[in-house]
Amino acid sequence: MKDFRIAILGCGTIGGGTARVLLDNLEGFSRKAGRRLVLAGIVTRSPAKSARRYGIPRELFLGEGDELSPAQTAALIDRIVGSDDIDLVVETIGGDSDYLLGIALGVLGSKKHLVTANKALLSKHGNRIFEAAEKNGAAIGFETSVCTSIPIIRVMKESFVSDEVISVSGIMNGTSNYILSRMQEGGISFAEALAQAQEIGYAEADPGFDIDGIDAAHKLGILMKLAFGIDVATSDLQVMGIRDITAEDMALADDMDCSVKLICHAHRKDGRVYGTVRPMMVKRSNLLAQVSGATNAVKVVNKYSGENLLIGRGAGSLEGGSAVSSDIIFIARYGSAAVETHSPVLCDFRSLDDMEFPYNIVFDTEDVPGITGSVTTAIGNQNINIDTVGHNRHGKTTAVFSIATMPCTLAQLRLAVQEIKAKRPDILRTEPRVMPILH
């Protein structure tokens, strides 16, 4: 059987880790694949720097000199895409631009297999990419696009193929989970926890992609496609990040035997699929509440096999390289048999407004008589059952208290708040803080 030749586009954290893992294990991986694997070439803007950083021989990098211009890099990528001597391309450049989409479609159009770590590209253009792969008889591997070293993609596609997924929920961004863990365990502010995350390299200088929930939303979108066959735009998921989480939120969570986590959640009920990404109070009886630091975890609830929890590192060069290499071996072993059929399901998607959850609502009010009664009456008027009413935390002239509800919709809660504002405009000092409770 002829050699299986691999090219890597991009040599940052994931690309460099992939090259390193492949080079360290080519002989063993070749045995597992049933054919000789060859790393044929790498394209990156800074070949000399990448060679030193990851211990990769310089001759594996295409192009001359220590640095390549954008035009030189693009020309080398075009050469790889058009080469008859390459069987599989690993794309680790990142981004969801039309240029990156063009590279992916070009790889598949030339009947090469594609392995990508690019969650943003798959989230935005997944349908076009999967359709191109099927049309050209090419396979796609994307294990490392969701939670890096956790094999959730393979499990969803293969292990649960005979089951019916009811819900997917998880902690899918290590940066946010580290920050929230430090706030809850160390009693520090969001700003202090973010600074610590940046100091040790868990957070970028501009951390918005992580702390605003965008990265997590891309991952949930991919899992929703696998679980329910539905394509949902990130903008439709009602994504909320963690910037506004306070020490008071953490204290209230402790009082309720909860941990605050940035949760990706989707479930199917009565022919509808619901999904969102936002901070939630997670009951400590739920294993997700116990996942701390930069660790990721995904919980899948199935009709037949019940609860399944996968936990592992959600980032890292070698961790990512291991996941990419797993896809490479699988595709090299099975070839055209690894090509999948992707048929989008026409399903009624609903956002958080219509999703029933128990909620915790925090009211910051003037300390005047009748506050609790006015608030609970307005909530009851929306047919919402109250689970518990927390103790008032009194200031000199103010009171802060929380109400935990039984399952209801966010739309119902908004109507209750509108009634409070209309009937007692003197009560609320700030907009009530609403957070779902995940049992």
Answer for the pair 146, 152: CB distance below 8 angstroms, yes or no.
Answer: yes
**232 vs 421: CA distance, rounded Å:** 34
CB count, 10 Å around CB of 23? 15
Between CA 142 and CA 134 the distance in angstroms is 15
DSSP 383-394: T--EEEEPPPEE
Count H helices and E strands in the chain, helices first: 14, 16
Please give the torsion angle defined by the CA atoms of residues 163, 113, 135 and 2, in that order, rounded to the nearest 10 degrees.
-110
Name, in order, each residue with C-beta under 8 angstroms of 296's C-beta and a sequence gap of 6 or more.
147, 148, 150, 170, 171, 172, 173, 174, 177, 311, 312, 313, 314
d(CA 227, CA 153): 10
3-state helix, strand and coil shares in percent for the chain, rounded to the nearest 5 = 45, 25, 30
Helix residue spans in 110-244 (DSSP H): 119-136, 152-154, 174-186, 190-199, 208-211, 214-228
Residue among 119, 219, 261, 299 flagged as catalytic: 219
Residue whose pair of structure tokens reads 């000789």 in the numeric block: 36
- AA letter at 325: S
Residue 220 phi/psi, 5° resolution? Answer: -65, -40
Spatial separation of the C-alpha atoms in residues 395 and 378, rounded to whole Å: 24
Rounded to 5 degrees, φ, ψ at 395 are: -100, -160
Active-site annotation holds for 219: yes
Closest CA to 129 of 324, 349, 342, 325: 342
Helix 247-255 and helix 174-186: axis angle, to 10°? 70
d(Cα 13, Cα 15) in Å, to the nearest integer?
Answer: 6
> Do β-strands 113-116 and 37-43 pair in parallel, antiparallel, or remain unpaired?
unpaired
| Active site residue ranges | 219
